[in-house]
Structure 1
Amino acid sequence: MTDISNDILVHTDSGVMTITLNRLARKNSITAAMYDLLADALDSANHDVAVRAVVIQGHETIFSAGNDIGDFLNKPPATPDAPVFRFLRGLSSFPKPIIASVCGPAVGIGTTMLLHCDLVYAGDNAAFSMPFVNLGLCPEAASSFLAAQLMGYPRAAEALLLGEPFMAETALDMGLINRIVPPAEANALAQRQALKLAAKPITSLMETKRLMKKGNAGMVAERMAEEGASFGRMLQEPAAREAFTAFMEKRKPDFSAL
């Protein structure tokens, strides 16, 4: 059995829980077991009165390459209780402030998870992408709803239909992130902002966040469930099989007959 205890690091200090993606050898790609750890950390933070804010961060060179493809193919998210969906539900409904620090590539869920964070700070080397269509799949994390709402339909369509990377300046213009800093400063900035939040009354923070998100909460949950069902079905279809086979064989996929 592979020991993943160091792939997700969780540390709490001064009212801030910091969750670090720490699988640098695999570009912080996320396995099902890691999603379980992420979901468990958020659940713990939710119920721990000493935790007043959460920071999710990676390394200054990489946030996350998205799903670990090998693990993903061996353990596809086949049910609503799959670890990735449990993590996404916990993230989308988390009642306390969440800050993300993003440097380097943020692929797939590495970008869509940011739609559920309250503050996002990025290094000037950040590159965001949502290449679901390129894998024969559909969006997840309610990104088919939230991306259009945040970016406007034309820019969301470009990001989701073409699946091409966009850089930090574009993400700032879209409203996906709050500020751009040098990569070596991003995690420290997220910590400073989290400490500011932790010093404020938690009841006020939570009620303000609840009120801001109230109008979207039902739609987010509904869209996330619909996306999850479509995602699971499309995983079994020819386009996804061709995309993942091509990825494993290190060739360009051929969708001409699909």
Structure 2
Amino acid sequence: MDILIEHTEGVMAIAFNRPDKKNAITAAMYQTMADALAAAQDDHQVRAVLIRGSVGIFSAGNDLEDFMKAPPKGEDAPVFQFLRRISGFGKPVVASVAGAAIGIGTTLLLHCDLVYAAETATFSLPFAQLGLCPEAASSLLLPRIAGYQLAAEKLLLGEAFDAKEAQRMGIVNRVLSAAEVDAFALAQAAKLAALPASSLRVTKSLMKHAHEREIAVQMTDEAVHFGKMLLAPEAREAFKAFFEKRKPDFKQFD
């Protein structure tokens, strides 16, 4: 199973389990996660959700081969189902990040309530490097969380940054050793699961309510641009270069 779902004392853990592919996410994996979040929303036994990777890797982002074979089309595409579910999820979501979190591996964290990272964690948003644009409302949320200049640096250049910088930017709550991050994040999720569900639900709703429509609109706008750019020559050159293990040549395009 590329996605593992486990239940422990009120916490549903969603784990990426494709380490041989650096936990790159396929459409089937997005669908599994979307369905799990939908079920958890209505399951009174689930009081908090934990998202984590496998040993040494969180997620390399979209599986480009799968992505190119079946690019997301329409609102019902699995990736968009997942993004709507995690963005609108009414219960606490905790993330544990060890190793690399690339692309949506980073942007999904912007929709989590608590994020804990290992000292070994790295983050990157290489959309421009792939001839694409941001997704998951990151073009709205990252400037709001980190400030415009820091967000612009990460989204325009797409260069990797470490866990301490992610913490300074406000993406990560705390940085821990790789050996303890998963256990700590699970313990934090368990703390949340032991608290009154109604209090957590209302508190989260009050914090997020004012921005829900903005996020939904931004996701839609991003998806329109993303879909067009995915078919453009720049993205085709970026993906071709990726599979050929060379640097892309963007100078041929205006």
Please report the TM-score for the alignment, with normalisation by the length of structure 1: 0.97
1:131, distance to aligned residue in structure 2 (A):
0.3
Unaligned segments of structure 1, at least 5 residues: 1-5
1:60: Cα distance to partner?
Answer: 3.4
Matched, 1:164 2:159: yes
1:60 matched to 2:55? The reply is yes
| Map of 1:39 onto structure 2 | 34
What does residue 224 of structure 1 align with?
A: 219
Task: Judge which range, 74-83 or 31-40, deviates more.
Answer: 74-83
Structure 2: runs of 5 or more not aligned = none
Matched residue, 1:3: none
After superposing on structure 2, the runs of 4+ consecutive aligned residues of structure 1 that deviate more than 6 Å are: none
Q: Which amino acid is the alignment partner of residue 39 of structure 1?
A: A
Moved more, 247-256 or 105-114: 247-256
1:93 aligns with 2:59: no
2: CA distance, partners of 1:161 / 1:13: 40
Deviation digits for residues 103-162 of structure 1 (CA, Å, limit 9, x no counterpart): 100000000000000000000000000000000000000000000000000000000000
Per the TM alignment, residue 219 of structure 1 is displaced from its structure 2 partner at its CA by 0.3
How many pairs are equivalent? 253
What value does the CA root-mean-square deviation take over the aligned residues?
A: 0.6
Question: 1:92: how far off?
Answer: 0.2
- In the other structure, the counterpart of 1:76 is 71
- Distance across 1 between alignment mates of 2:193 and 2:243: 44
- What is residue 121 of structure 2 aligned with on the other side? 126
**Aligned-pair CA distance for 1:212:** 0.3
Counterparts in 2 of 1:172-187, with a 5 A limit? 172-187=167-182
Contact 1:101 1:186 survives alignment (8 Å) = yes
State the AA in 2 paired with 1:16.
Answer: V
Aligned to 2:143: 148
CA distance in 2, matches of 1:60, 1:147: 27
2:43 partner letter: D
Aligned to 2:7: 12
Bigger shift: residues 245-254 or 137-146 = 245-254
Calculate percent identity across the aligned residue pairs.
57
CA distance in 2, matches of 1:235, 1:76: 8
Between the aligned partners of 1:246 and 1:203, the Cα distance in structure 2 is 50
Give how far 1:184 is off.
1.4
- For residues 63 and 171 of structure 1, what CA distance do their matches in structure 2 show? 15
Cα distance per residue 1:15-40 (max 9 Å; x no partner):
00000000001000000000000101
Checking the alignment, whether the CA contact within 8 Å between 1:16 and 1:195 is kept in structure 2 is: yes
Find the partner of 2:194 among 175, 196, 199: 199
- Deviations, residues 45-92 of structure 1 (Å, cap 9, x unaligned): 101011000000012300000011110110101222111111001000
1:257 to partner: Cα distance: 1.8
